[in-house]
Structures are given as structure tokens and as C-alpha cells.
Amino acid sequence: MNVGIVGAGVCGLAAAKVLQERGHRVTIFEGRHEVGGQVVTFPVGGTPLECFYHHLFTSDTTVVRYIRELGLERYLRWIEPRNAHLVRGRIYPFVTPLDLLRFTAVPLTSRIRLGLVALYLRRQKNWRKYEGVTAKEWMMRAVGRKAYEAFWGPLLRGKFADHADDVSMAWLWGKIYLRFASRKGSREALGYLEGSFRRYYQALADLIVERGGTIHLSTPVERVVVENGQVRGIRAAGRLWEFDQVLMTTPNIITRKIAPDLPADYAAILDRVRYQWATCLVLALDRPLTNIYWLSIADDLKFVACIEHTNFMRPEDYGGNHIVYLSNYVPPDHPVLRMGAEEVLELYLPGIRTINPSFERSWIRDLWFFTDPGGQPIITTNYSRSIPDIRTGIQGLYLANTTQIYPEDRGQNYSLLLGERAAAIIDEDARAVAARRGASI
């Protein structure tokens, strides 16, 4: 069959690859000038770097499978980075279990409870029992108010802002469970592809084209055209492109705009899920800011994490620049989304000086500010009822996006798997239609 795909993020690319392997023709429409979606890159010192920080956990076996299949394993690096937590102006290392005992921001009994609860959750496989309770309620009970307010509370507020108190314990379970799965003994290993993850998704896009697929870049889909309850094609670049089947990989908010003909009950499910925008101010410095890779911020700063990429990869790979991401997640009406990089820096300066009091503006060689509207779906209690099906209810029209990733948190690994799952469903439906017509696909 002839399949149209909206979006050349990793989900769309994985779906295209599997569809081709099953004998379908694919055409991808991508609004941006390059493939990669949220893993999109820009050059720093001549090397591509993700606009939003990216790494792998050892549990991300699907990404590793793609990297291997594309012959890129020699670029894969596993590193035990230095992580830490900023609480009341002080930086506490958080790498080994011993660091938890040294976390004097809370009394010893709270530290012990934090450790025991993490160990307990690591052994829990049944996430369903956490679906109906908020992370705040469950954690407060488990670790106590002091530990919650110094540790988990700020992390949840950082990602979900005003919605933090509504976030499901199933989401937090997923974070803790998978983080532990990435530990080798007492230390955590994180992965990165030297030269950026662009290496594998660009290779995937090239493979799709080599196999006869088409990728239209800078071609935003204006509308998915539906006639008599069946998909007819895609309107883009001022014309109609006809397809037997269409897969949308766009966030719900965009999906609602480009597919106005979705059945009302399906559209209502899409409207139920809200998103936080992802924002990253990226600094290229002439020296290190810290010696930490991932610094979680529990204090009330204007950003929630400081990720120093060059404490993971070498600054020499980026023309000697030291790269720092200052990350935050904000609601769609947040004023920072209307600011330029310099303005955001002005806002963040006091926070940067909390991390390193000797920081000078003159250390900055360059800076960039990136935002994405589909940054983080807000995972509320009983979220499984808000997950849209891949089949939309319109014949031949499908949806695969990060709102369907659950109970794991969104990540490349799960978007690749989701793309593969969507492709299998599309293929199954195509075969059923072909069988009814007595034809082959």
C-alpha cells in the first residue's frame, strides 16, 4: 500500500523502515528542514549537538539495536557520569548509595527512608497499583514531608510546574524503576553516540530513501484529508497527495489542527492530555561551569536542571567549548516562550551564579534557546484511560506519539518501539483490506 507519514521524528522513521520491510511504499512529510524531531541537532564547533540534552539508559535496548543495525556501534559510549542535587544553595553529589547518606539537607531518618523506598520501588514490577494515586500523596506517605520537600517535590514541580501535585505515582515509579535498571552495581551508566544521535537517525532516513521512500523536508502538513469516514490523503505544499493509509506522529495539539475530522470521542481523548513545553538555554563556555554532568535543582531557580554535556563527552569534540544545557518545562502561556536567548540568560544569571558563584558573563562564547511544544505530556492519575488508540476510528488513519508511551517516560527507545508497533498495525489492516479485495498489498 501507499502510506503517508506526518513527521520525521524517530517514531515516524522507525514506522517507515518497518513498513518498507513489509512491502509498503512510504512518503514522509516533515515540517522542519531536517529529520530527527525532538532529537534535532545544531552544530557547535563543527560537531552536531542535540538542541535538547539526550542520553541513553542501559535499558534503552531498542536504540542500541538501531545503532548496531546501522553499523554505528563504534560511536556508542557508555559513561558513569557525576550526578548531583542542588538543595538550599549547596551541591550534593548523587552517584553512589553512600551519597544518599551524606545528603545532609534532610535528617538521617529521612535519608534512610529515601533509600529504602527507592530500593522497594526498584523491585516493584506491577505499576498498575500506582495508577490511581498521585506521586505526591504516595511519596509523602513513604518518605515523609521533609524528604519529599527536599527531593521528590522539587523534581516533580520542575517538570510539571502547577500540575506537579496531579502527577501519577505510576510515572514516578517508571522513572525510578528504569533508572535503577541502568545501574551497574552501585553506579549508573549512561550512553551517548559520539557525534550526536543524529548519526543513527540520519542513517535511518538515508536508508529509507535508498529503499525507494521519499522524505519531503520543510513541508508542513496542512491537513489530513478524510472522505466518507476513510482517509484520502495529505494536503501539503499546496496540493493533495493521495494515500491508502496515513500515520500521524505529531503531538495531540498539532494532530487536532491537521486532522479536524477525527471522531468526537477520539478527539476528546486527545484534548484530555496536556503538555509542558520543553525549553533549553544552551551555553558554549570557554571553561567548565561545574565538574557535574547532571545537576538536579531543588531550589527555586528559573531552571530545573543544569546538564554539562562536556562532563560526559570531551570539550575538544566541540571546538574546545564547554557545553551547558539549562533546562525547564513550562506551560504553553509562559512568558519565557516569547523571549530570545539573551533575555533568557538575563533571567537565569542569578541561578547560574548559585551553581558557580565565580561565573562571569565573559565565559560565554555563544548561546542558543530552543523550545518544543510537545516536550512532556502531563501524566495524571489513571492515565491509561487518556491514551488514544493507534487506530483513530477513521479507516486508514493512525496516530503514534509520546502520549501513548506509558508507564515509561517518553524517550527515543519507546518512540522507536511505538513506530514499529504502529507499522505492524497499519500492515495488518492493509493485509485485511487487500484480502477482502482479493489483491496483494
Ligand X SMILES: Cc1cc2nc3c(=O)[nH]c(=O)nc-3n(C[C@H](O)[C@H](O)[C@H](O)COP(=O)(O)OP(=O)(O)OC[C@H]3O[C@@H](n4cnc5c(N)ncnc54)[C@H](O)[C@@H]3O)c2cc1C
Nearer to ligand X, 11 or 143 (CB): 11
Nearer to ligand X, 30 or 308 (CB): 30
Mark residues 373-392: x for contact with ligand X by CB under 6 A, - for none.
-xx-----------------
DSSP H or E stretch at residue 235: strand 230-236
CA dist 262 → 15, 140, 383, 385, 396 (Å) = 21, 41, 21, 18, 12
Member of 1, 5, 9, 298 binding ligand X (CB under 6 A): 9
Member of 19, 24, 26, 29 binding ligand X (CB under 6 A): 29
The answer to the question of residue 38 lying near ligand X (CB under 6 A) is: yes
Member of 140, 258, 330, 364 binding ligand X (CB under 6 A): 258
Rounded to a whole number of angstroms, the minimum distance from the CB of residue 55 to ligand X is 5
**What's the rounded Cα separation, in Å, for the pair 429 and 441?**
10
**What's the rounded Cα separation, in Å, for the pair 357 and 424?**
54
The answer to the question of residue 254 lying near ligand X (CB under 6 A) is: yes
- β-pairing, 187-188 vs 183-184, is antiparallel
Is cis: bond before 407, omega within 30 of 0? Answer: yes
Q: In 3D, which of 405, 340, 396 has the Cα closest to residue 376?
A: 405
Q: Which residues, 6 or more positions from 62, have their beta carbon under 8 angstroms from its beta carbon? A: 413, 414, 416, 417
Decide: 235 and 225 in contact? Cβ < 8 Å. yes
Nearer to ligand X, 106 or 247 (CB): 247
Nearer to ligand X, 45 or 220 (CB): 220
Q: Which stretch binds ligand X (CB under 6 A): 133-141, 282-290, 359-367, 406-414?
A: 406-414
Q: How many CB atoms lie within 10 A of CB 61?
A: 11
Q: In 3D, which of 199, 182, 163, 151 has the Cα closest to residue 41?
A: 199
Please provide the distance, in angstroms rounded to a whole number, between the alpha carbons at the two ends of the chain: 5
**What's the rounded Cα separation, in Å, for the pair 93 and 318?**
26
**316, exposed or middle or buried, with CB in 10 Å at 0-12, 13-18, 19+?**
exposed
Member of 83, 311, 381, 412 binding ligand X (CB under 6 A): 412
Report residue 55 as a C-alpha cell: 542520553
CA angle 382, 179, 128 (to 5 degrees): 25
Binding residues among 104-143 for ligand X as defined by CB under 6 A: none
> Can you give the length of the chain in residues?
441
The answer to the question of residue 84 lying near ligand X (CB under 6 A) is: no
Member of 22, 25, 32, 256 binding ligand X (CB under 6 A): 32
The answer to the question of residue 297 lying near ligand X (CB under 6 A) is: no
Member of 301, 410, 417, 426 binding ligand X (CB under 6 A): 410
Rounded to a whole number of angstroms, the minimum distance from the CB of residue 243 to ligand X is 14
**What's the rounded Cα separation, in Å, for the pair 433 and 199?**
37
Type of residue found at 321 = N
Nearer to ligand X, 9 or 396 (CB): 9
Rounded to a whole number of angstroms, the minimum distance from the CB of residue 221 to ligand X is 4
Binding residues among 207-226 for ligand X as defined by CB under 6 A: 220-221
Q: Which stretch binds ligand X (CB under 6 A): 48-56, 150-158, 333-341, 347-355?
A: 48-56
Member of 415, 422, 423, 427 binding ligand X (CB under 6 A): 415
**What's the rounded Cα separation, in Å, for the pair 351 and 304?**
10
Q: Which residue is nearest to ligand X (CB)?
A: 37
Q: Which stretch binds ligand X (CB under 6 A): 112-120, 180-188, 367-375, 424-432?
A: 367-375
Member of 10, 18, 84, 397 binding ligand X (CB under 6 A): 10
Nearer to ligand X, 39 or 84 (CB): 39
What residues make contact with ligand X under the rule CB under 6 A? 6-12, 29-32, 37-39, 52-55, 220-221, 249-250, 254, 258, 278, 372, 374-375, 401-402, 410-413, 415
